[in-house]
Structure 1
Amino acid sequence: MSGVSESDIVLVDNGSTDGSLLNVKNRFQDIHLIKNKVNEGFTGGNNIGMQYALNRGYEYIMLLNNDTKVTTGFLELLIAEMRTSDKLAAIQPLIYYMEPETQIWNAGGKYHAWLGYSQTNYKVKSEKPYLTEWISGCAILVRSAVLEKVGLLDNKYFAYFEDVDWSLRMRKRGFELKVHPKSIIYHEAGASSKSEIKGSEGFLDPKVHFLNVKNQIFQLRKYCTSPQYWLAWPFHFAKFGFLFFISW
């Protein structure tokens, strides 16, 4: 991050028990470390880190998953675009799979209100930064001033779909979201949610299935009108069954 002035790295350890925190302390002494006693979830862990940054007056906060690999200059590109408009609340890089590196994992997303469905884009819409309806929690640069108006991630989600909720809340307040196609990172998708041994829920941790279903129902209730809610149910019921099937 040689092109970013006055930046700091904050690592939130979300209740790990494998001794990795001590290894980080020994190798990277300039990193700010926060140790949670228990796993606070994706939302709780990130919220603790964001509150730490807000208390210290940072202009921007970059959320970045620990199963990612970044490219040189990715953050500088995001910051430069954020400085073009105060209406821009947050921006994400173009996210590729770790393997194969040529396949896009997330290029932004579209939200279908009548189905309560968040669709992921797998194709780049433009060579320049472009607007999107929701952005991935895997990697988000957010404006701190926006958080004072919109709030942090909703801890009721714990993990999954909290990024869609956050995006919808930002857009509801009149802010914009973008994807920067020249800012690139790679993501080892599902690294934290898969089991090495196949169980009754396939290779996915059973908690992942639970959170996926629970949070989509929660999101339907939160954002859909009554007609939209009942129209969306058959679609989601079929989708839940399909996702359970392909996890095997």
Structure 2
Amino acid sequence: MEIKYSTAILIVNWGSYDYTRSCLISLSHCLNKDFQIIVIDNGSSDGSGQRLFDEFQQTCTFLFSDINLGFTGGNNLGIKWALERDFDFVLLLNNDTEVNPDFLTLMLEEFALNPKLGVVQSMILFMDEPNKIWSAGGKWIPSLGRAITLGDRVLLKDYVVQNKVLDWATGCCLLITRQTLEQVGMLNEQYFAYFEDVEWSLRCRDKGYEIALAEKAIIYHVAGGSSKKEHAEGMLSPRVFYFHVRNQFFLVRQQVKGLWKIAAISYHLLRFSAWAVYFTGRFRFKKLKSVLRGIIEGLSKPI
């Protein structure tokens, strides 16, 4: 089945020339050619945005931000650009991914099969272990305010999709319709990065749109390529832990109702207290401070 829709593919670059370049090259082999790639350079200070522009300006559109707007703000720049130009679909694609040539065709086919769909996610495998699943979509547990990744590290050959309908889709590879965007709105920029895709997905479902997995649409993900850099306290910066903790509490406060909210907050306080104990024992005091700051701001900041 050949689907003819215009798609804007958004790729946010933040100081990651090699990853973004590899992603763009893989997209050049796509069977479906009815798309436009928009590279959003998110305030890169290493010149990677200009290098990519010099190399790919003939085939990609480039948007430049003077500052790092995060995953949310960077993608929202691209979403706004795409909506102003009447694209039928917008695809969020992490820059540390590479795609199979038929991935977009297979994702679009899901919309033809189910008119209730607002969002489709691809099957995502690890780049360095392409037989293992990184994400087959997400499940939301309301009583705990917990987002679970389906298929995490399961061998692809052993994974059986019980239900293609998902609770949430990861922003690593998320295809959304123009109509859904117009009804639901853009990403919540207060999140900056982490859990913004869960919050967005749950908003889509609240508006009556379904989310599905395109299990045969395959892409490969480095997993944290743009956030894994050498730091004094390991590969992940303290800032990553801050956003993870803070946004988890944002999500609970927004999505969990009634007495379950108290239970969910207590559950995550226990989880993150364990993180704090671990970082204290490993003398990773910057990460400890980030976790504590995330807890305080996640529970107190207006949302």
Q: Say yes or no: TM over 0.5.
A: yes
Q: Distance in 2 between matches of 1:219 and 1:236?
A: 11
Residue by residue, what CA displacement relative to the aligned partner does 1:31-88 show, whole Å, maximum 9, x if unpaired?
1000000000000000110110110000011110101111111011001111223310
Partner of 1:227: 259
| Deviation of the 1:242 alpha carbon | 4.6
Taking structure 2 as the reference length, the TM-score comes to 0.76
1:45 is the counterpart of 2:74: yes
Q: What residue is the counterpart of 1:18 in the other structure?
A: 46
| Per-residue deviation, 1:219 | 1.0
Conserved 8 A contact 2:41-2:63 = yes
2:55 pairs with 1:27 = yes
Count, aligned residues: 245
- Does residue 205 (structure 1) correspond to residue 234 (structure 2)? The answer is no
* 39-48 or 229-238, which deviates more: 229-238
Which secondary structure state, in structure 2, belongs to the residue aligned with residue 115 of structure 1? coil
Q: Percent identity?
A: 38
DSSP-derived class of the 2:140 partner: strand
Find 1:161's aligned residue among 195, 203, 228: 195
In structure 2, what is the equivalent of residue 78 of structure 1?
107
> What is the match of residue 236 of structure 1?
268
Rounded to whole Å, the distance in 2 between the matches of 1:87 and 1:237 is: 37
Distance 2:114 2:101 in 1: 24
Q: CA deviation at 1:2?
A: 5.2
The residue aligned with 1:140 is 174
- In structure 2, relative to structure 1, the CA distance for the partners of 1:2 and 1:66 (3 Å cut) is closer
Question: Distance in 1 between the 2:34 and 2:150 partners?
Answer: 33
Q: Indicate the RMSD between aligned Cα atoms, in angstroms.
A: 2.0
Gaps of 5+ in 2: 1-28, 285-303
Q: Which has the higher contact order (CA 8 A, sep 6+)?
A: 1
CA distance in 1, matches of 2:82, 2:175: 13
How do 1:123-134 and structure 2 match up within 5 A? 124-126=159-161, 130-134=164-168
Equivalent residue, structure 1, for 2:298? none
Structure 1 length normalisation: TM-score?
A: 0.92
Q: CA deviation at 1:30?
A: 2.0
Tell whether the 8 Å contact from 2:187 to 2:196 is kept in structure 1 after alignment: yes
Residues 204 and 2 from structure 1, CA distance in 2 versus in 1: closer, same or farther, beyond 3 angstroms? closer
Question: Structure 1: which 5+ residue stretches go unaligned?
Answer: none
Instruction: Give the corresponding residue for 2:132.
Output: 103
Distance 1:9 1:177 in 2: 23
- The amino acid that maps onto 2:46 is D
Aligned pair in 2 of structure 1 residues 198, 100: CA closer, same or farther (>3 Å)?
farther
The range that moved more, 212-221 or 188-197, is 188-197
**Which structure's residues are more often helix, by fraction?**
2
Which amino acid in 2 is paired with 1:163?
D
CA deviations 1:185-215 (Å, max 9, x no partner) are 111112222231332xx43211111101111
What is the rounded CA distance, in whole Å, between the counterparts of 1:138 and 1:54 in structure 2? 20
Q: Spell out the pairing of 1:110-121 with structure 2 (5 A cutoff).
A: 110-121=139-150
Distance across 1 between alignment mates of 2:33 and 2:236 = 41
